[in-house]
Amino acid sequence: MIKSNTEKLLDQILSILNSRQKDVIERRFGLRDGKPITLAELGNNYSITRERVRQIEAESLKELRKFIKGGILDKLLTTTSKHVKNMGGARRETLLLADFQLLLGEKTSPMFNNQIKFLLELDGSFKYYTEDGEFYSYWYQEDAKQKKIIGFITKLVKYMKTKKEKVLSHNSVDKVFKEAIKPNNLKDLIALNYISISKNFHINNFGDFGLSSWKEINPRTICDWAYMVLKKEKKSLHFTEIANAIKVYKNVDKKINSQTVHNELIKDSKFILVGRGMYNLKEFGHISGTAKEVMARILKSQGPLKPKELIEFVLKERIFKKNTIFINLQNRKHFTRLDDGKYKANLA
């Protein structure tokens, strides 16, 4: 089996260790099979204590760090340093590992990823930020640069919150993004790289960008997904159609239960029943109510209308059969026919 350049480099570095030290390091960091194991597991394997394994690991790393001072990692580190600097001084871990695949011309794998992470950690030129609730794990070069990145992300989150409606309408996100990064004097590529580190931002299946907390950008529940479907389709849909669309938009094989979708639509006031099983969004101008109530509201706002005119107004927001509208108009308790053939509403 032909070894990669990274494997050859590791073999050269690890060759200074004795067999047990080498085995401990390879298995602790997953350098052999991509699966790191615990101190306890290694202890059981060697019939020694967990603490003794930790000591062997610490002694081995100390020897290796002393050895690499001779410059054996210079080529790798120079390439990495230049690349990370061009990206603004930091890089999300998963993206950096993908970059290495291209930079070194090697295939990525859990083993390759662990090897690169081990070499960077061994050298110590780069600092590592462990993933938490706010950020993905990333590597960075300087504390001052990290402070700048966090400051930029904090300001951008605050800015995006004040521009939510603008971002979510008329595809103006690019304009808002440029407005937001302009005061920070950052190139688009670097700003996007910083954003990739933060969990505050999200790009959905439609390519829409915004805050992760926005349901329109990052739907989590069936209700959120139903809202996104109607927002994107911009037309009334049957609840079964909404369920099918959610499956497509989520890009999942599992069938979405249409009755579950229907239950969510019924109990949330932002969804309006516009016909038999057909729903649309309240924000699009649809208002709940029976045929009689919808007709009365339109006549109150528009003034008396002829049947044909009334039908046109009603059908713009609700899906009723024309006969339903005509039958309701005959109810003299609710509607009165005027001498010019128009109808007015008697309802208060």
Q: pLDDT by residue (tens digit) across 160-219?
A: 888 887 777 655 667 777 887 887 788 889 999 999 999 999 888 777 888 999 988 899
- Residue 337 dihedral angles phi and psi, to the nearest 5°: -90, 125
The reported pLDDT for the residue numbered 298 is: 86
For the chain, the 3-state helix, strand and coil shares in percent, each to the nearest 5, are: 60, 10, 30
One of 3.40.640.10, 1.20.120.1200, 3.40.50.10420, 1.10.10.10 is the CATH number of 5-68, namely 1.10.10.10
- Tokens, residue 41: 């597991």
- For the record, the structure tokens of 27 come out as 């298995």
- Where along the chain do its domains lie? 5-68, 74-140, 143-211, 222-284, 291-345
The CATH topology of domain 74-140 is: Arc Repressor Mutant, subunit A (1.10.10)
Reference 320, options 295, 344, 339, 347; nearest CA is: 295
Separation between Cα atoms, residue 257 and residue 247, nearest integer Å: 10
Alpha-carbon distances of 270 from 68, 222, 230, 287, rounded to whole Å? 62, 14, 11, 10
Tokens 């688009």, residue located = 188
The residue among 88, 116, 78 whose CA lies nearest residue 196 is: 88
Q: What is the pLDDT of residues 206-255, one digit of tens each?
A: 778 889 999 888 999 999 999 989 988 888 899 999 999 999 988 888 89
pLDDT at 291: 80
Helices 173-181 and 188-197 meet at what angle, rounded to 10? 90
**pLDDT tens per residue across span 297-318:** 888 889 999 999 998 888 887 7
Domains 5-68 and 222-284 agree in fold: yes
pTM exceeds 0.75, yes or no: no
Q: Is CATH 1.10.3470 what the domain over 222-284 is classified as, yes or no?
A: no
Specify the amino acid at residue 255: K
In this prediction, residue 264 has a pLDDT band, given cuts at 50, 70 and 90, of very high
Contacts of 298 (CB under 8 A, 6+ apart): 305, 310, 313, 314
Mean pLDDT confidence for 154-162: 90
- For residues 272 and 264, give the distance between their C-alpha atoms in angstroms, rounded to a whole number: 12
